[in-house]
Structure 1
Amino acid sequence: MDSAELAELGQQLRVDGIRASAAAGSGHPTSSMSAADLMAVLLAHHLHYDFDRPEHPANDRFVLSKGHASPLLYAAYKAAGAIDDEELLTFRKLGSRLEGHPTPRRLPWVETATGSLGLGLPVGVGIALSGKRLEGSGHRVWVLCGDSELAEGSIWEAAEHASYENLDNLTAIVDVNRLGQRGPTRHGHDLDAHARRFRAFGWHTIEIDGHDVDAIDRAYGEARSTLGQPSVILARTLKGKGVADVEDREGLHGKPLEDADAAIEELGGVRDLRVRVHTPDVEGVPRSVPGGRLDLPRWERGEKAATRDAFGKALAALGTARGDVVALDGEVGDSTRTEFFAKEHPERHVECYIAEQQLVAAAVGLAARGWVPYAATFAAFLTRAHDVIRMAAVSGAGINLVGSHAGVSIGQDGPSQMGLEDLAMMRSVHGSTVLYPCDAHQTARLVATMAGLDGVRYLRTSRGDGPLLYGPDEEFPVGGSKVLRSLGQDDRVTIVAAGVTVPEALAAADALDAQGIPVRVVDLYSVKPVDRYTLRRAAEETGCLLTVEDHHPEGGLGDAVLDAFLDGRPVPRLVRLAVTSVPGSASPEEQLHAAGIDAESIAAAVRLLVEQAITP
């Protein structure tokens, strides 16, 4: 296309964005109009993508980080022939693929769900990492950002990571339209303010007029030819460009135009230009995933081992058996034990340093390219990345998250290092799987199982050594549990534990048995989904469930157990032992006792329950 045709395509994208929003009665047409010329030039001249084969290994990848500008994206899909005009006008309607913010659950050309601003670029970094380090492909990653989201810290975590990894296959395009939701952005149209920051992070910066199609074309070419560093194109644009009533005006964010017909006429009317998007220059070869025998680590009877050690060794073994497994860590690999994977498979290990949002976002990007990522840090620090995790579930991304140093049992480090909210956080994520193993063999098995699951998977590991409770060949199905002690109908109480509280529950059971009080002990290693059958049977046979968890009572193991009885059946007597205060520094044993979740505390709670049960 020549310059005039590119300008016409930009006008068509504006018009179609207005039409889609008008048909929906909602949307963000003015945010779409500012970036229309940027999209037009990219679509017609620089994007290499086969819309008939979105899985093509040599396709470029496009991420709309400013996801509210979805009318622009869908208008581009129409121009490329991926959707028709009839579908365009279903925007935001029930059952439509064209949601208010795009998601890959609905559309095969969308790489990741966006709309929570500041996440598109971090995920784009993960996709670019895949292309440059793991796939060795020539595809580029283009990320269209808004200037408002440059206030997000996640953007700068991504910027530093991309520069550190020399991702010259990544280009960020910033639509600097000056206006945010409630008014002007922090830096307005000061392109140099943005450029100084990106340059400080090691990016190649290009400043242009975002409505000059020739300047845009040159900028994209410059970005494509830049080697050794990522590029950012900072484009000065006008929100609502082309329509006098809305151009560069405040107070119109997220609103359809009042007079869409007049605006369309001012823009030159409806057009039906079609773009032949360049397909990849090479056919590309689907990535072959070498596989082998999985030899999980084993421990001898009588040994003690920390579940974090078991995780690291199992992950390394899984990486040997499966060439699609990738490990990411937040500069704590010596604690999470991803260092075992890094030593054996350095080419598939990604160090994200202390940037937990980028850690998880990179995992989402890698998952979008077909890898099986395991991202690990302290359980407490994953809370920083909750929004990224939430959006990963919206994307339907398959990622494995591992939180170590969970609970008060880590000991002297104190509450800032203790994951005491992680089970609640991860259980609340849509479609998540939450696992909390209690010994090394159980951990190793669950690490391998996670690789074949869907959605967001979370494994909670512990710092201290613990006893072996299972053999190396024991199976642990997701959604299951293990009854470790029971006398059947004679059991007076069922103790439900997970992780570090399982050995404590067994020790309490020994003490209680010596006093003539038989109890059942259930290892609820699958916190979500929970084993409803075993819990319901225990409730029927023992009449009382006592949950013990190294976690705050809100949202943890106790609530997971309660979920088994929310189908209308009678709820059994349920007593919870959990961490109810802010811990200080003490030894692991002292911490468990102070929290009231050690063997002595469990036994005391059971004795009290039994006495109350027999009191007239």
Structure 2
Amino acid sequence: MTSYHKPDEKTLQGLKDVANKLRINSIKATCASNSGHPTSCCSAAELMSVLFFHAMRYKTDDPRNQCNDRFVLSKCEAFGWNTYVVDGHDVEELCKAFWQAQQVKGKPTCIVAKTFKGRGLKGIEDLENWHGKPIPKDRVDEILKDLQSQIQVPNKTLCPDLPNDDTAPADLSPISLPSPPEYKKGDKVPSELLGICFIRTSRPATAVIYSPDEKFEVGVAKVVRQSDDDQVTVIGAGVTLHEALAAADTLAAKGKNIRVIDPFTIKPLDAATILASARATRGQIITVEDHYKEGGLGEAVLSAVGGEPGIVVTRLAVTGVPRSGKPQELLDIFGISAKYIAEAVTQTFAN
């Protein structure tokens, strides 16, 4: 039976150095964009160092080589898996765990790596309220200097091992669990196991527009703003619903009223409410969504009203490559903020 051989000290130190280099680059990148998740990057630095520079075999100059190991980001339920629990900041433990995983055949391995948020960042590591925030500019130099001082061999280059050229092509056939989950039909189980469910939540500190006792029904939209002389129906979801309400306030101050709808669910879509609102607002509908047009809210509304005469749908959505930035900056860049909603409403009068 193959036995585990601990990497030599130079290799272990090299992996530690790579982890700190990853931390430095993560901080520089997120500071340059003034957005991102540097503390999450720092918590996973040793994992990425050992995985990409010790455990995986691949050709950096031939990324599509069929013999290369693959790195796949996925979510799963750990039924019937082989598992190891390790210190996610101990490169030697990680080296051993990845080696052990390679020895197990017939079932996948799950490595549970215990880590600290913001590992290696003085005054930030394992503290609350640092998620999703770049390092403050007045602290960057000190933190980078401290990380740089921990790199013992700055010029050492670690290269991944090359794959075996005679490796068989990857088997892309469906993967099955070695044994089914141990519950029977009708058993009470956690809700995430009852079927596919999608819940849209938002990170920005948006206003609460519903009371705790508000009743919601699948397929029944909420008309959250309306008057007797609404000129356009605006449909938003999540953060764009709040932008639509802000646009409604701006327009109301100029004597123009709009109807604002929260569809609540896109499938099934409340076509009856949307059609009734469209007919009450000169047949004008504007949809606003914080992602691409394809397969989203706008297309769902178009499908619902496409056969109705006299209805025009204007779609505001992300049209370029996504990027990092402050939420309000991104809403403006992609033309889906309250400002651009108000402009789109005004344009309907010009038409």
Please give the TM-score of this superposition, normalised by the length of structure 1: 0.30
Kindly indicate whether structure 1 or structure 2 has the higher relative contact order, using CA contacts under 8 Å at least 6 residues apart.
2
Please give the TM-score of this superposition, normalised by the length of structure 2: 0.50
